[in-house]
Amino acid sequence: QPDDRGLIGDVPVLRVTRRGTEAVHFVPAALEPGAEVLLSLDWERRFDHMQQHSGQHLISAVAEQMFGFKTTSWELGRQRSVIELDTPLVTAEQVEALERSVNEKIRDRVPVIVRELAADDPEVETVRSRGLPDDHAGPVRVVDIKGIDSNLCCGTHVSNLSDLQVIKLLGMEKGKKNKTNLVFLVGNRVLKSIEQSHSTEKALTSLLKNGPGEHVEAVKRLQSSVKLLQKNNLNLLRDIAVLIARDFKSKPAPKPLFVLHRKEGDSEFMNIIANEIGTEETLLFLTVGDEKEAGLFLLAGPVEAVENLGPRVAELLGGKGAGKRGRFQGKAAKMSRRGEVQALLQEFISHQNPGA
């Protein structure tokens, strides 16, 4: 169970841990020895932990009684909690029956009693436990859910199962080898989950323009539409890439440097252009993405030129890339520096071909 939080006077407690028999409090500022202070507990956090922990005891006990599923460990999470059950399979019907049974016991207002026993008391051996810490000293605490469970535990608990309000089992997840994880919420966490789900439902109702019962089908239709649009967009980009390349090649005297930027596009778009133009004689610098943000680039052309210029182009664009056989491509973080790259390439061509 997570530790408590609160204030010592006006100094917040950041963490509490145990060292032997002492509780050690971590605070951000020194406290005056001997000073009288008011201790304030973060009750919302404490009560949440009480609900989840007592709920875990109840679920574990009833799961073992009904189906023989022993609890091997559990985790009290920030948003949801998990019980690890020593079984490879729990059916949906068993989950439903377990949830129904634990909530019946909550409605029955079963008392929860905390007792202390001497560590050598014979009764300790009859209580459910995973063993005591090696540095344990003093009495041991036993948490009894009357007529349901008796368990060694040092955590904080409610005094009556009615304080749990309700338990919701969210389902099963595959655990470690031959184990199954049971995910659950107790009390106020159930209410918060319902509130969050309702807010999401209202937002979807507004966006999708239909009722909650039709949300799933509406989203499926949208997904299908998006897939079709993406397919059509890809085909159009391919056609545009081919037309751009053919237009360049149709000119009577194609220039030795071809530069193109397009906001919409991807690596395939750039490679189609490079394939169509051919890079034996022409140096191509192609980019796609937002002009002022990040994007993709492709440098293609004679092998020696690309090997020489590729890393320098990537450096100017604040990106990384790799290449082989006359192509160097990668990601660019500074697309706004495309003009500097173009100047670099033009200078390179001028030195290679003084008349160009």
Do 237 and 185 share a structural domain?
Answer: no
Do 234 and 162 share a structural domain?
Answer: no
Domain assignment present for 253: yes
Do 68 and 21 share a structural domain?
Answer: no
Do 302 and 155 share a structural domain?
Answer: no
Instruction: Tell me the residue range of the domain where 260 lies.
Output: 229-352
Do 261 and 159 share a structural domain?
Answer: no
Q: What pLDDT, on the 0 to 100 scale, is given for residue 355? A: 53
Do 292 and 239 share a structural domain?
Answer: yes
Domain assignment present for 323: yes
Q: How many separate domains does the chain show? A: 3
Which amino acid, one-letter code, is at 235? N
3-state SS, residue 258: strand
Domain assignment present for 274: yes
Domain assignment present for 211: no
Q: Which of 192, 199, 132 lies closest to 168, judged by CA?
A: 192
Do 11 and 65 share a structural domain?
Answer: no
Q: In angstroms, rounded to a whole number, what is the distance separating the alpha carbons of residues 155 and 133?
A: 14
Q: What pLDDT, on the 0 to 100 scale, is given for residue 127? A: 85
Q: To the nearest 10°, report the CA torsion of 83, 84, 87, 91.
A: 40
Do 47 and 26 share a structural domain?
Answer: no
Do 47 and 30 share a structural domain?
Answer: no
Q: Cβ contacts of residue 55 below 8 Å, gap of 6+? A: 81, 102, 164, 167, 184, 186, 187
Do 201 and 52 share a structural domain?
Answer: yes
Do 327 and 316 share a structural domain?
Answer: yes
Q: What pLDDT, on the 0 to 100 scale, is given for residue 288? A: 93
Q: pTM score, two decimals?
A: 0.73
**Maximum C-alpha span of the chain:** 102
Task: Read off the CATH number of the domain in which 299 is found.
Answer: 3.10.310.40
Q: Encode the chain (356 residues) as per-residue pLDDT tens digits.
A: 899 999 999 999 999 998 888 899 999 999 999 999 999 999 999 999 999 999 999 999 999 999 999 999 999 999 999 999 999 999 999 999 999 999 999 999 999 999 999 888 888 888 877 777 777 778 899 999 999 999 999 899 999 999 999 999 999 999 999 999 999 999 999 999 999 999 999 999 999 999 999 999 999 999 999 999 999 988 998 999 999 989 988 888 778 889 999 988 889 999 999 998 886 788 999 999 988 889 999 999 999 899 999 999 999 999 999 988 899 999 999 988 999 999 999 999 888 766 54
